[in-house]
């Protein structure tokens, strides 16, 4: 066996960054294994986490993975900024820079934003609709483990074999074997495929959950806004992700089996990849932004002590955005030469998205109006979102204008724009959502003083980092260029941006410290409705930390914000008496399936066919086992439910 192919070039050349990465991965792995063994936690890990089908625990695992990936992607971003801090920097080589910006994009979109959003959906959605779990708990675990092992497969690329270096968009023919002969882009094709399958299953699972498992009385138009946004997002997932699946499969055929879909010869079409990628890629942007809109709607309404303004137009605007999201993909390559007519069409569809988005902005503003605004940490992020995202949005309208885009395309102006929508849009939202719903899982709030300090550091540093990029773009600085000369005059603004990125890193470190500190010192909450009794939706109607069965009795809903009105009118939403509760049983197969997929993917990346076939058969065996398995779950007896309820104080039901 030739082991050489597994060793990355950086290691052979003694690149200190790569050696550092390898050493730290090995040390962390040893530390985790040793820690688990020393504290005798293997059994706990297996029983409570690896085999769990509980939506709350799966959500927590998604969020922890996303936070880890946020740091991985953030460290990448910091390295990119270091390299660009001054002209002709020698911090990174061109090859290393290319791998890092590719990783930064892939990780931040697919392995940070997506799992963070899906994690929050997992924790919140069943609670918000008064359900005890998602529709298919076992499939939910499969989704998570496919995402997790897909992400792991992608992450080992840096130390085993070589990382993808053709950008997160992986445009052909650059990503073909002709121009990228290493295994890097095989990792792209396979790891994204595995994670993407998990996402597709999540989409199906949550559509069914929301359509079929709502509490009695909760009609569609009585659903909380976050539930609405999740439903619409999952519909986009179900339509958009199959395109990625197909595109990645074709890419795999091209790279591993010598087919010619996207190559330069024999009728291959490089533009076909760009089209397929963005037919998925643009809806993907809305997959990460619509749930964020949902999160903001909940938080803004809660902390202005007021119902959401224009509920119907909020729902309608999301539906319109979801339709338009499939009609704008060409704006990612106006410059491909398709002519004025096609570009004009896509310019108009793209600009039209500003209309429903504007409706949402004004509805949020009018929710705040006449409210009683309380500045909690989640509310600070939600408020900062409005002006910063508006700036990102209006620059988006500018980019949508095809003629002007001929001057913005591929420049730092574009980079500034999408960071201005994705960070205040998605990242602020998931952080806000984490602060807001944290007590549901943990039983305590994150410290507010530290939270606000982290917020200000992040919000200010964000603007310092990305505002200069608008000007650099207009001055002709292109994205993805690893260096520039002093004569270009790009130096000073780049230095400001780099200083800002250090501030961002400090801000995120403060956020993690905030979490760790709060675990040890934050006062434990005793009642469910922790935000000064301002909760409006069902997740605040149960105890915290939320018991495994969520609700001892299924709540009944008679209007929007039912919990708020029940509190006001001093009624209870829980009318039935406690009965035995049907729950799904834990199972190790999803984890094992994910692990086998990981090995299958690894063998595919290195074209080790025999091993890949064996792993593939392993996948089929697990699917067959599931087919013939009879597992009807189990019941929690009434006594046990009553005992648990009493342990919370027993007053809520």
Partner 1 sequence: MKKKGSLLVILTLLTFLLSGCTSELLVLNPKGPAAALLSETIIFSVLMMAGVLVVVFALFTIILVKYRASNSSPDYEPPHDEGSLKLEITWTLIPIIIVSILSVVTVKSTIAVEKPPAGYENQKPLIVYAASSNYKWHFSYPEQGIETVNYLNIPTGQNVEFRLYSYGPITSFWIPQLGGQKYAMSDMVTKLNLVADTPGSMMGKNSNFSGKGFAKMEFEVLAMSQGEFDEWVNDVKKTAPPLTEEKYDQLLKTEFVGRESFSNTHLEFRPAPEDHSSHFKKPGQKDENESDNHEHHEGHGEQHNEETEVEDHSNH
Which positions from 218 through 277 interact with partner 1, judged by CB under 8 A? 264-271, 274
**Which of the residues 273 through 302 are near partner 1 (CB under 8 A)?**
274
Question: Quick check: 91 binds partner 1 (CB under 8 A)?
Answer: no
Do residues 470 and 408 make contact, with C-beta atoms less than 8 angstroms apart?
A: no
Binding window for partner 1 (CB under 8 A); candidates: 111-119, 382-390, 443-451, 618-626:
382-390
Q: How far is the CB of 501 from partner 1 (least distance, A)?
A: 18
Residue 227 or 367 with smaller CB distance to partner 1: 367
Minimum distance of partner 1 from residue 331's CB (angstroms): 11
H or E segment at 150?
helix 137-156
**37 is a site residue for partner 1 (CB under 8 A):** no
48-77 positions binding partner 1, by CB under 8 A? none
CB of 265 to partner 1, least distance (A): 5
Out of 82, 208, 217, 305, which residue is the one contacting partner 1 (CB under 8 A)?
305
Looking at residues 403 to 422 of the shown chain, list those that interact with partner 1 (rule: CB under 8 A): 403-407, 409-411
C-alpha to C-alpha distance for 156 and 164, rounded to whole angstroms = 11
Q: Considering only residues 426-485, where is the footprint of partner 1 by CB under 8 A?
A: 456, 459, 463, 467, 470-471, 473-476, 478-484
Choice between 481 and 589, CB closer to partner 1: 481
**Considering only residues 338-377, where is the footprint of partner 1 by CB under 8 A?**
339-340, 343-344, 347-348, 351-352, 354-355, 358-359, 361-363, 365-366, 368-375
Distances (CA, A) of 523 to 442, 509, 532, 576, 599: 11, 22, 15, 33, 44
- Residue of 140, 186, 377, 395 that binds partner 1 (CB under 8 A): 395
Q: In which element (H, E) is residue 645 found?
A: helix 638-647
d(CA 194, CA 148): 9
Q: Which is nearer to partner 1, 408 or 598 (CB)?
A: 408
Is the separation of the CB atoms in 466 and 497 below 8 Å?
Answer: yes
Q: How many CB atoms lie within 10 A of CB 504?
A: 23
Region of 110-118, 392-400, 431-439, 623-631 interacting with partner 1 (CB under 8 A): 392-400
At residue 127's C-alpha, the angle toward residues 121 and 131, to 5°, is 110
Helices (H), 522-608: 562-568, 589-605
3-state secondary structure 92-140: CCHHHHHHHHHHHHHHHHHHHHHHHHHHHHHHHHHHHCCCCCCCCHHHH
CA distances (Å), origin 545, targets 549, 629, 638, 648: 11, 33, 20, 9
Residues 137-176 that bind partner 1 (CB under 8 A): 165-167, 171, 173-174
Q: How far is the CB of 100 from partner 1 (least distance, A)?
A: 13
Instruction: Please identify, using beta-carbon distances, which residue of 122 and 363 lies nearer to partner 1.
Output: 363
Instruction: Return the number of the residue (147 or 470) whose C-beta is nearest partner 1.
Output: 470
Nearer to partner 1, 144 or 482 (CB): 482
How many Å apart are CA 424 and CA 251, to the nearest integer?
33
Contact present, 53 and 584 (Cβ < 8 Å) = yes
User: At closest approach, how far in Å is the CB of 143 from partner 1?
Assistant: 32
Q: Which residue has the tokens 């310092």?
A: 464
Q: Is 177 in the site for partner 1 (CB under 8 A)?
A: no
């Amino acid at each position: 066996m030739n082991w050489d192919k597994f060793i990355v070039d950086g290691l052979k050349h003694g690149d200190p960054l790569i050696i550092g990465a390898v050493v730290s991965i090995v040390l962390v792995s040893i530390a985790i294994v040793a820690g688990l063994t020393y504290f005798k936690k293997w059994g706990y890990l297996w029983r409570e986490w690896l085999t769990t089908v509980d939506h709350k625990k799966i959500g927590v695992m998604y969020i922890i993975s996303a936070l880890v990936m946020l740091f991985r992607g953030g460290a990448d971003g910091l390295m990119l900024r270091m390299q660009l801090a001054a002209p002709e920097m020698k911090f990174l080589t061109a090859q290393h820079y290319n791998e890092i910006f590719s990783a930064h994009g892939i990780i931040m979109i697919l392995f940070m934003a997506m799992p963070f959003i899906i994690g929050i959906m997992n924790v919140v959605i069943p609670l918000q609709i008064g359900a005890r779990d998602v529709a298919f708990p076992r499939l939910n675990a499969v989704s998570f483990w496919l995402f997790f092992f897909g992400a792991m497969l992608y992450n080992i690329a840096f130390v085993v074999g070589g990382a993808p270096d053709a950008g997160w968009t992986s445009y052909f023919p650059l990503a073909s074997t002709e121009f990228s002969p290493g295994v890097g882009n095989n990792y792209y094709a396979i790891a994204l495929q595995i994670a993407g399958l998990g996402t597709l299953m999540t989409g199906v699972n949550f559509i069914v959950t929301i359509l079929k498992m709502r509490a009695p009385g909760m009609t569609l138009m009585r659903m909380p806004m976050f539930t609405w946004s999740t439903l619409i997002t999952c519909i986009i997932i179900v339509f958009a992700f199959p395109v990625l699946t197909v595109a990645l499969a074709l890419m795999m055929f091209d790279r591993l089996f010598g087919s010619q879909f996207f190559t330069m010869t024999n009728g291959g079409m490089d533009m076909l990849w760009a089209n397929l990628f963005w037919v998925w890629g643009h809806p993907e942007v809305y997959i990460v932004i619509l749930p964020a809109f949902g999160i903001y709607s909940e938080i803004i309404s809660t902390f202005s002590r007021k119902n959401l303004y224009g509920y119907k137009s909020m729902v309608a605007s999301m539906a319109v955005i979801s339709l338009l999201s499939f009609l704008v993909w060409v704006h990612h390559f106006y410059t491909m030469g398709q002519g004025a007519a096609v570009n004009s069409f896509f310019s108009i569809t793209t600009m039209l998205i500003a209309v429903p988005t504007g409706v949402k902005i004004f509805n949020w503003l009018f929710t705040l109006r006449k409210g009683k605004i309380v500045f909690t940490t989640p509310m600070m992020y939600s408020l900062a979102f409005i002006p910063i995202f508006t700036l990102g949005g209006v620059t988006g309208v500018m980019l949508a204008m095809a003629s002007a885009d001929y001057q913005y395309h591929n420049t730092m102006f574009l980079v500034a724009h999408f960071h201005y929508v994705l960070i205040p849009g998605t990242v602020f939202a998931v952080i806000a959502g984490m602060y807001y719903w944290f007590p549901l899982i943990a039983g305590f709030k994150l410290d507010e003083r530290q939270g606000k300090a982290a917020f200000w550091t992040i919000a200010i540093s964000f603007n310092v980092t990305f505002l200069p990029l608008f000007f650099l773009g207009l001055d002709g600085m292109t994205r993805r260029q690893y260096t520039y000369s002093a004569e270009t005059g790009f130096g000073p603004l780049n230095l400001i941006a780099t200083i800002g990125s250090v501030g961002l890193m400090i801000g995120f470190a403060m956020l993690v410290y905030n979490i760790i500190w709060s675990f040890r010192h934050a006062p434990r909450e005793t009642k469910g409705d922790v935000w000064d009794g301002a909760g409006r939706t069902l997740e605040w109607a149960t105890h915290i930390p939320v018991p495994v069965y969520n609700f001892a009795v299924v709540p009944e809903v008679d209007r929007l914000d039912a919990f708020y009105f029940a509190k006001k009118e001093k009624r209870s939403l829980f009318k039935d008496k406690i009965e035995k509760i049907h729950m799904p049983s834990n199972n190790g197969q999803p984890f094992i399936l994910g692990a086998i997929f990981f090995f299958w993917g690894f063998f595919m990346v290195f074209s080790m066919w025999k091993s890949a076939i064996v792993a593939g058969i392993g996948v089929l065996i697990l699917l067959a086992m599931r087919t013939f398995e009879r597992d009807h779950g189990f019941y929690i007896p009434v006594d046990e439910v009553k005992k648990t309820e009493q342990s919370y104080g027993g007053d809520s039901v």
